[in-house]
Amino acid sequence: MTMDGGRPLRVAVVGSGPSGFYAAEALFKDATLKCEVDMFDRLPTPFGLVRGGVAPDHQKIKSVVKVYEKTAADPRFRFYGNVKLGADLSLEDLRRRYDAVILAVGAESDRRMGIPGEDLAGSFAATEFVGWYNSHPDHRDKAFDLSAESVAVVGIGNVAVDVARVLAEDPEVLAKTDMADYAVDALRKSRVKNVYMLGRRGPAQAAFSPAELEELGGLHSADLVLTPEETALDPESQKDYDAGDQALKKNVDALQAFAKRGPGSKARKVHLRLCVSPVEVVGKDGKVAAVRIEKNVLVRQPDGSIKPKGSGRFETLPIGMILRSVGYFGVPVPGVPFDSKKGVIPNAAGRVLEAGAPLPGLYVVGWAKRGPSGLIGTNRACSAETAAKVLEDFRGKALAADAEKTQAAAEAYVRGKKRDVVSFADWKRLDAAEVEKGKASGKIREKFSRISDALAALKAVVV
């Protein structure tokens, strides 16, 4: 058995974002388990949303990678970047070579609004915009037209706040960060003056965190604008406020204080609209020209939640671009059960379920497990829960010697299947090259935004 001197438990983790690294960390931490972890990522670079999602002006949040680097430095750990499950390797390939496969694939797509005009040119998912300014290879070639005076961001979660801040803030604040150089250039040329954030419910139901709201209210080049009418609490929301947690109270108090402050005198405005739902994206010549919104009333539901209901009163806001920031959504992994309604992999505390029964040796962590919610740290407990299930399933089992289930066999197999596999040592070289490249323009780093450029840089370094 793994715990009494047999061969180590071999674990593959697919995905190198926070949840993947926390799963490896939890497995390594368990003194009763002898275990090796091979981590795969379709990109040549690790860290998932910490690299491709966290806003460039939130470098403190990104410093969490130091924790992941500690895990990666463990001799029981291997990184295989630029290897895609479902293209370069199949799930069956992995299951044959590993005792356990942990899927840490996140939620790579986005929710839709389901309204007319959503597919017009100039209508995007906020996640595309985020990927674009963060140099993500999937999104770096997208073109966002910032020539209009007004744009809309649908949703009032933390992602919506990030994109509104990036659109409204002085680009020079972002120029020294690790934001893509092409994005900084585009933002410097931007003519956007008004960013409309559209929340379908009221101040007591806002999804953003108080700290993010405070930051939005303190931008150098934009005022946060709200009206007393839209920040007033309806009687049901007032009950939630009176009984509510600190975050809810802080949000409501801050929103009402911003409303009292008036529109301010800065060149740009972030208009945070509440109790409004977009009902149509209006086009002109095939391009976004306006968004029609309906004012909502809030209604307490039998389950205790508060939902928006259209009031029949409409308004039209002229805009040149709309970003829907209404949540991420999972993408199915070939061969793995998928709940297409919730966008997650069905599971019981991390054990993947098929028709209600656990699939032996297959596990899930992070957003693919519980849906796209929570902060980076939320993943630590989530991954520890799954790791505990792995341990439970293998405790007391003798692992027979298996020539395919060794670090060396896996290395040879993966490299035989795919050229240009990126190891963690390779990534550290890319990391150093990015930092070096950034120095020239006084930036924290300039990321490789094309996979081919990253691979070419590695070859240049090796030769």
125 binds ligand NAP (CB under 6 A): no
160 binds ligand NAP (CB under 6 A): yes
> How far, in Å, CA of 272 to CA of 156, rounded?
8
159 binds ligand NAP (CB under 6 A): yes
154 binds ligand NAP (CB under 6 A): yes
Of the candidates 133, 174, 187, the residue with the CA atom closest to the CA atom of residue 443 = 174
How does strand 276-284 pair with strand 287-300? antiparallel
38 binds ligand NAP (CB under 6 A): no
Helix or strand run (H / E) with residue 358: strand 357-364
Buried b / exposed e across 199-228, counting CB within 10 Å, b at 16+?
bbbbbbbbbbbbebbebbbebeebbbbbee
Query: By C-beta, is 137 or 327 nearer to ligand NAP?
Result: 327
109 binds ligand NAP (CB under 6 A): no
Query: By C-beta, is 113 or 167 nearer to ligand NAP?
Result: 113
Query: By C-beta, is 319 or 457 nearer to ligand NAP?
Result: 319
Query: By C-beta, is 164 or 414 nearer to ligand NAP?
Result: 164
Q: Shortest distance, CB of residue 207 to ligand NAP, whole angstroms?
A: 4
Can you spell out the DSSP letters for 383-441?
A: HHHHHHHHHHHHTT------TTSSHHHHHHHHHHH-SS-B-HHHHHHHHHHHHHHHHTT
> How far, in Å, CA of 131 to CA of 137, rounded?
8
207 binds ligand NAP (CB under 6 A): yes
Helices and strands per DSSP (H, E), number in the chain: 18, 18
Name which of residues 305 to 364 contact ligand NAP (CB under 6 A). Answer: 325-328
The residue to which tokens 């959503």 are assigned: 118
Report residue 460 as tokens: 């240049």
277 binds ligand NAP (CB under 6 A): yes
Q: Which of 16, 71, 205, 237 binds ligand NAP (CB under 6 A)?
A: 205
Q: What's the one-letter identity of residue 89?
A: L
293 binds ligand NAP (CB under 6 A): no
Query: By C-beta, is 51 or 201 nearer to ligand NAP?
Result: 201
**CA 319 and chain centroid, separation:** 26
Note the residue count of the chain: 463
Of the candidates 207, 225, 222, 209, the residue with the CA atom closest to the CA atom of residue 325 = 207
Name the segment binding ligand NAP (CB under 6 A); options: 182-190, 243-251, 329-337, 373-381. 373-381
The residue to which tokens 């933390």 are assigned: 158
Query: By C-beta, is 27 or 126 nearer to ligand NAP?
Result: 126
> How far, in Å, CA of 27 to CA of 128, rounded?
33
Query: By C-beta, is 154 or 167 nearer to ligand NAP?
Result: 154
Residues 394-413: x where in contact with ligand NAP by CB under 6 A, - otherwise, as a string: --------------------
Q: Which of 86, 182, 374, 417 binds ligand NAP (CB under 6 A)?
A: 374
157 binds ligand NAP (CB under 6 A): yes
224 binds ligand NAP (CB under 6 A): no
| Position with the least CB separation from ligand NAP | 157
Name the segment binding ligand NAP (CB under 6 A); options: 14-22, 89-97, 150-158, 402-410. 150-158
Would you report the helix, strand and coil content of the chain in percent, each value rounded to 5? 35, 25, 40
Name the segment binding ligand NAP (CB under 6 A); options: 72-80, 156-164, 311-319, 358-366. 156-164
Residue numbers of the site for ligand NAP (CB under 6 A)? 58, 113, 154-160, 162, 199-201, 205, 207, 209, 212, 277, 325-328, 372-375
